With several copies, the nearest count.
Chain A
Amino acid sequence: MSQTKTKIAQRISKEINDGDVVNLGIGIPTIVCDFIPSDIEVHIHSENGLVGLDKEAAEGFEDKDIINASGKYATIKNTGSFFDSAMSFNIIRGGHLDMTVLGALQVDSKGNIANWMIPGKLVPGMGGAMDLTVGAKKVICAITHQTKKGTSKIKQECNLPLTAAGEVDLIVSELAVMEVSSEGLILKEIAKEVDVNEVIEKTEAELKISENLKQF
């Protein structure tokens, strides 16, 4: 696992509070799990129909009827439970999730997020992502700061089709933690490895620097 991804996941794990009900998307969000402190109890929701998701199943212990939303064999805590997809999305859309963490192709200064299609190129579909972003109380976007070609994924305005408009609350990359406010993005924290100017340079969106800027 790359250090970049680990850094993002680790920082996001600090947003989780005892008792929270959390949905973790595919990719970086999945590994957030690994950094949740053992002294707090978190209910992991998986949109395919369970809450109380535990680790992936060990080899030889796979149960064909227990998978996570990525299709991997999983396990469930002894206080977990299963339900149909209607109930699963009632939980999501009904505001019963304290937090969802999603990856994205782009995210922007207005809290818009794009993660489900690149016109003419890639159309996987939105799956549960549109419901998750609209429904969860807090939406965190886990994202590498730039594309492999060095383009900022933190846009002033997304140009890919949106997953949701204005729903993202917090953006965490390997370089920065940015809060979405009515006045645009507020740079709250920067990675120890970089300085503010480097972050500003690598970010397409305008950043307001928090008076209380921290490192992570």
Chain B
Amino acid sequence: MGKVIDMQELDKFFDDEMRIMIGGFLDCGTAETVLAYVNQLDLHSLTIIVNDAGYNYKSKGKFLATADINNIITSHIGTNPDVGAKMNNGEIEIELIPQGTLVEQIRAHGAGLGGILTPTGIGTKAEEGKQIIEVEGEKHILATPIGADIAIIKAWKADKSGNLIYRHSAKNFNPIMAMAADTVIAEAENIVENGELDNNNIMTSNIFVDYLVKSKPEN
């Protein structure tokens, strides 16, 4: 079976209570086409791992504001008042993690590390409930791996075998999340034949990518 699939085939990979990672920084580098499709599946009690909550009126922010989500693990929700309101009324539990720690935790999962030690957050609420480890007299927070059942990432170009190239600041969390989920679904703006990408510039190897979906052109 090839990796390039139709949107409709996505249904079978999703289920209630799944942990789903979503790439992107605000709206940049987010798999909008896939997210819009997933949002109309009848999924419940999701856990979402995402850099930020985006904007409530579009793309991932709309998904976060409207889907049935129990938990969001993220670094920032300030741009999405709907998510903020759901946090305040107890509908969604938000775990806030410093952005640099969050990306390292996702990387640690993909990289088979037991965790990383970061000085970020020492002396703040971010250290609450965490193991503190001193290295050469300096306190560090032990940040443990964060993985997911599914990662939904966005690429600029893909070849049919699943190699990915991201464009400009649309890289952000995408190449890291590509390593950290059991199933990786990549939405690509362009899907080309094998051999058409310069293999010196491939950022995510095809061995990480399970399925490819083509982006719908922007209206």
Contacts and interface: CB of A to CB of B under 8 A. Distances in A.
Report A-B touching, CB under 8 Å: yes
Interface in B81-122: 84, 87, 94, 96, 98-101, 103-104, 107, 109-113, 118-122
B161 A79 contact: yes
A199 to B, nearest CB: 28
A63 interface: yes
A95 B203 CA distance: 19
Contacts of A43: 206-207
B112 A93 contact: yes
A162 B200 CA distance: 36
Interface size of A as a range? 35 or more
Interface string A170-208: 000000000000000000000000000000000000000
Given A123-B77, A135-B120, A81 B202 contact: yes
A21 B207 CA distance: 7
Given A63-B168, A71-B26, A82-B171, A90 B96 contact: no
A162 B98 CA distance: 13
A164 B120 CA distance: 8
B63 interface: no
Contacts of B163: 79, 81
A140 interface: no
Contacts of B98: 126-131
Interface string B152-169: 000010010101001111
Interface stretch (B9-17, B34-42, B174-182): B174-182
Nearest to A74: B169
Interface of B: 25-29, 51-52, 74-79, 84, 87, 94, 96, 98-101, 103-104, 107, 109-113, 118-126, 156, 159, 161, 163, 166-176, 179, 194-195, 199-200, 202-203, 205-208, 218
14 contacts: A50-B169, A65-B170, A71-B79, A78-B195, A79-B161, A81-B206, A82-B202, A84-B173, A89-B104, A90-B110, A90-B179, A94-B109, A94-B179, A165-B122
